[in-house]
Chain A
């Protein structure tokens, strides 16, 4: 089954404790992206990647890192989480960009930073 898989689904952590949210897709997509969803703001793009070893900032990259060492994986790293990063996070992938092509989304990771 074609899918985007995120782990964990739920995470509660403390301020300053490094964490990684994993994202994996099995569709051989080139484009992958991370979003955060906050009430009333829709989804905002954090980082995206157009291919292996190619990443770039989205609208809200501060406090986040990403890497794309393999085509299928695109982990999101919070080196020193803060409470304002409490949010619902989605990973998405697309065959070759988002202009005309459907984006496939993972089921989300709800992160709480206390």
Chain B
């Protein structure tokens, strides 16, 4: 079985300050981990993915995440928030035998203040 916990349902930052969205996972298998972003009234877009290569993963729009196996974490960071980053972010794990199941965290809504 696998599960994902996003530790904050809402995060508010000021424009230009760092962003940290926290994610912890559990998986019985070697997991693949993803971060997806959902802008209002839009589908989900892949930000970045970890698939057992480098533990520090760089994604689009300046986001990156670090896979820490000992802490079972995959936190998403960005050095400087932009207004356009305001959206909902989902941490996702895939690790079942057949790789056919994505398990989503509950989501973190990021608000960016001017």
| A residues adjacent to B (C-beta < 8 A) | 4, 31, 33, 35, 40-45, 48, 50, 56, 58, 90, 92, 97-100, 102-103, 105-108
Contacts and interface: CB of A to CB of B under 8 A. Distances in A.
A42 B49 CA distance: 18
A4 B43 contact: yes
Interface in B53-96: 90, 94-96
Contact of A43 (B6, B41, B90, B100): B90
B46 A90 contact: no
Contact of A90 (B9, B43, B51, B106): B43
Contacts, number: 70
The bracket for how many chain B residues form the interface is 20 to 34
Interface of B: 4, 6, 9, 32, 34, 36, 41-46, 49, 51, 90, 94-96, 98-102, 104-107
A4 B45 CA distance: 12
Contacts of B101: 45, 48, 58, 98
A46 to B, nearest CB: 12
Given A97-B100, A100-B51, A107 B43 contact: yes
Nearest to A103: B102
Contacts of A43: 44, 90, 102, 104
A29 to B, nearest CB: 13
Contact of B107 (A42, A56, A90, A92): A42
Given A42-B107, A100-B51, A105 B44 contact: yes
Contacts of A42: 4, 6, 90, 104-107
A97 B104 contact: no
A99 B33 CA distance: 9
Instruction: In the A-B complex, list the 9 residue pairs whose CB atoms are closest, starting with the nearest.
Output: A99-B99, A42-B104, A97-B99, A105-B43, A105-B44, A43-B104, A100-B51, A107-B43, A98-B94
Nearest to A4: B43
Given A40-B9, A103-B46, A106-B43, A98 B105 contact: no
